[in-house]
Chains A and B, each alone.
Chain A
Amino acid sequence: MSRQGTKLKKQNRLKELWRRYRKNPAAMIGLAFVLILIACVLFGDVIAPYKTATGQNIRARLQGPSAAHFFGTDEFGRDVFARVVHGARASLALGVMTTLVALSVGGVLGAVAGYFGGRIDDIIMRLMDVLTSIPSLLLSLAIVSALGAGIRNLIIAITISRVPAFVRIVRSAVLSIVDQEFIEAAKAGGTSDTRIIVRHVIPNAVGPIIVQATMSISMLILQAAGLSFLGMGVQPPRPEWGAMLNDAREFMRVAPHLMIFPGMAIVLSALSFNLMGDGLRDALDPKLKS
Chain B
Amino acid sequence: MHRYVMKRLILIIPILLGVSFIVFFITALTPGDPATLILGTGAELEAIDALNRELGYDKPFFIRYARYIYDLVVNQDMGRSYRSQMPVSEIVLRRAPTSVLIAFNGMLCACIIGIPLGVLSAVKQYSATDTMSTTTAMFFAAVPSFWLGMMLMYIFSLKLGWLPSNGVDSWRHYILPMFAIGLPFAAHQLRFTRSTMLESVRQDYIRTARAKGASEHTVIWKHALKNALLPVITITGINFGGLLGGAMITETVYSIPGLGMLLVSSIKMKDVPVVMGTTLFLAVFFCLIMLAVDLMYAFVDPRIKAKYTR
CA distance A26 to B29 in the complex (A): 46
B281-310 with Cβ < 8 A to chain A? 282-283, 286-287
Q: Does A13 contact B (CB under 8 A)?
A: no
Chain A residues touching B, range = 35 or more
Chain B residues closer than 8 Å to A134, beta-carbon distance: 19, 22-23, 279, 282-283
Q: Are B150 and A263 interface neighbours, CB within 8 A?
A: yes
Q: Are B141 and A274 interface neighbours, CB within 8 A?
A: yes
Q: Does B205 contact A (CB under 8 A)?
A: no
Chain A residues closer than 8 Å to B147, beta-carbon distance: 245, 259, 263, 266-267
B1-44 with Cβ < 8 A to chain A? 14-15, 18-19, 22-23, 26-27, 29-30
Binds A, one of B65-73, B172-180, B228-236, B240-248: B240-248
Give per-residue flags for A143-155: 1 if the beta carbon is below 8 A from chain B beta carbons, else 0.
Answer: 1011100000000
Binds A, one of B53-61, B76-84, B267-275: B267-275
Chain B residues closer than 8 Å to A132, beta-carbon distance: 241
- Option from B138, B154, B248 in Cβ contact (under 8 Å) with A275: B138
Q: Are B19 and A146 interface neighbours, CB within 8 A?
A: no
Q: Given the interface contacts A141-B267, A218-B142, A229-B146, does A135 sit within 8 Å of B245 by beta carbon?
A: yes
CA distance A16 to B232 in the complex (A): 33
Give per-residue flags for A82-112: 1 if the beta carbon is below 8 A from chain B beta carbons, else 0.
Answer: 0000000000000000000000000000000
CA distance A290 to B192 in the complex (A): 12
CA distance A230 to B245 in the complex (A): 12
Q: Are A138 and B150 interface neighbours, CB within 8 A?
A: no
Q: Does B101 contact A (CB under 8 A)?
A: no
Chain A residues closer than 8 Å to B263, beta-carbon distance: 138, 141
Smallest beta-carbon distance A165→chain B, Å: 10
Majority SS at the chain A contact face: helix
Chain A residues closer than 8 Å to B26, beta-carbon distance: 142-143, 145-146
CA distance A133 to B244 in the complex (A): 12
Q: Which B residue sits closest to A245, measured CB to CB?
A: B147
B89-146 with Cβ < 8 A to chain A? 125, 138-139, 141-144, 146
Q: Does A137 contact B (CB under 8 A)?
A: yes
Q: Are A141 and B141 interface neighbours, CB within 8 A?
A: no
Give per-residue flags for A234-265: 1 if the beta carbon is below 8 A from chain B beta carbons, else 0.
Answer: 00000000100100110011001001100100
Q: Does B214 contact A (CB under 8 A)?
A: no
Q: Are A256 and B244 interface neighbours, CB within 8 A?
A: no
Chain B residues closer than 8 Å to A143, beta-carbon distance: 26
Smallest beta-carbon distance B145→chain A, Å: 8
Binds B, one of A69-77, A123-131, A174-182, A200-208: A123-131
Smallest beta-carbon distance A264→chain B, Å: 9
Q: Does A226 contact B (CB under 8 A)?
A: yes
Q: Which A residue sits closest to B147, measured CB to CB?
A: A263
Q: Are A252 and B139 interface neighbours, CB within 8 A?
A: no
Q: Are A253 and B151 interface neighbours, CB within 8 A?
A: no
Chain A residues closer than 8 Å to B195, beta-carbon distance: 290
Q: Are A137 and B30 interface neighbours, CB within 8 A?
A: no
Q: Are A267 and B249 interface neighbours, CB within 8 A?
A: no
Q: Given the interface contacts A226-B144, A271-B138, does A245 sit within 8 Å of B245 by beta carbon?
A: no
Q: Does A222 contact B (CB under 8 A)?
A: yes
Chain B residues closer than 8 Å to A131, beta-carbon distance: 22
Q: Does B86 contact A (CB under 8 A)?
A: no
For B143, B147, B154, the residue with the greatest tally of chain A CB atoms inside 10 Å of its CB is: B147
- Option from B144, B248, B252, B283 in Cβ contact (under 8 Å) with A225: B144
CA distance A129 to B279 in the complex (A): 15
Q: Does B183 contact A (CB under 8 A)?
A: no
CA distance A230 to B151 in the complex (A): 17
Chain B residues closer than 8 Å to A249, beta-carbon distance: 150, 253
Chain A residues closer than 8 Å to B150, beta-carbon distance: 245, 248-249, 252, 259, 263
CA distance A77 to B249 in the complex (A): 27
Q: Which A residue sits closest to B270, measured CB to CB?
A: A145
Q: Given the interface contacts A252-B150, A259-B154, does A135 sit within 8 Å of B144 by beta carbon?
A: no
Q: Which B residue sits closest to A142, measured CB to CB?
A: B26
Chain B residues closer than 8 Å to A229, beta-carbon distance: 144, 146, 249, 252
Chain B residues closer than 8 Å to A127, beta-carbon distance: 18
Q: Are A222 and B144 interface neighbours, CB within 8 A?
A: yes
Chain B residues closer than 8 Å to A129, beta-carbon distance: 15, 18
Q: Does A37 contact B (CB under 8 A)?
A: no
Smallest beta-carbon distance B151→chain A, Å: 7
Smallest beta-carbon distance B242→chain A, Å: 7
Q: Given the interface contacts A141-B267, A146-B29, does A252 sit within 8 Å of B138 by beta carbon?
A: no
Chain A residues closer than 8 Å to B241, beta-carbon distance: 132-133, 135
Chain B residues closer than 8 Å to A260, beta-carbon distance: 151
CA distance A275 to B137 in the complex (A): 12
CA distance A126 to B19 in the complex (A): 12
Q: Can you list 22 residue pairs at the A/B interface with Cβ under 8 Å?
A: A132-B241, A133-B287, A134-B22, A134-B283, A136-B245, A137-B246, A137-B249, A138-B248, A138-B279, A145-B27, A146-B26, A146-B30, A222-B142, A225-B144, A226-B246, A245-B147, A248-B150, A252-B158, A256-B154, A263-B144, A263-B150, A266-B144
> Which residue numbers of B lie inside 8 Å of A, CB to CB?
14-15, 18-19, 22-23, 26-27, 29-30, 125, 138-139, 141-144, 146-147, 150-151, 153-154, 158, 194-195, 198, 241-242, 244-246, 248-249, 252-253, 263-264, 267-268, 270, 275, 279, 282-283, 286-287
Taking A130-B22, A135-B286 as known contacts, 9 extra A-B pairs with beta carbons closer than 8 A to each other, sorted by chain A number, are A134-B19, A136-B242, A137-B248, A138-B245, A138-B279, A142-B23, A229-B252, A252-B150, A271-B141
